Amino acid sequence: MARSDFRFHVTKRVRYAEIDAQAVVFNSRYLEYFDIGVTEYWRAAGVYDRWPDHSSPEFHVARAEVDYKAPILLDEEIDICVRAERAGRSSMTFLFELHGKGKDELRAAGRIVNVHVAEARGAASPVPEAFLALFEAFEGRALRA
């Protein structure tokens, strides 16, 4: 996917605690970067304005994928690009790309499928319309499958 297909990104600098012995970002950190990205994406889409006490709908990660393309090194700044890809009855899929700051320089790509639950330990339930509407408005397109 072209970087220009992402309406949103947040920039982050790689810290010492995130690297391995070769001064390359450790593989598990990529999922943490995706989590930072989706948190800021939700903020930009208006989730925290709509639910200011962080009582927004609850989602659990059902699937996470990472494709590693090129190393990310200590002290580099990266752009975490996020896009809502689609919404199903009870799930939402987000796409991620990590690029060098301000560059079309793909370092990693990923996809996370989140499932909406009615309560923290509950079964899957439909994605609330008000929640989905925020992302459709932010993306400027329908997300429903």
Task: Identify the pLDDT of residue 120.
Answer: 67
Read off the pTM: 0.93
Radius of gyration of the chain (CA): 16
Task: Identify the pLDDT of residue 1.
Answer: 81
Is residue 74 exposed (0-12), middle (13-18) or buried (19+ Cβ within 10 Å)?
middle
Task: Identify the pLDDT of residue 56.
Answer: 80
pLDDT at residue 113 greater than cutoff 70: yes
Q: What is the pLDDT of residues 49-69, one digit of tens each?
A: 988 887 788 899 999 999 999
Task: Identify the pLDDT of residue 15.
Answer: 97
User: In whole angstroms, how far apart are CA 107 and each of 31, 52, 53, 67, 78?
Assistant: 13, 34, 35, 9, 9
Share of the chain above pLDDT 70, in %: 99
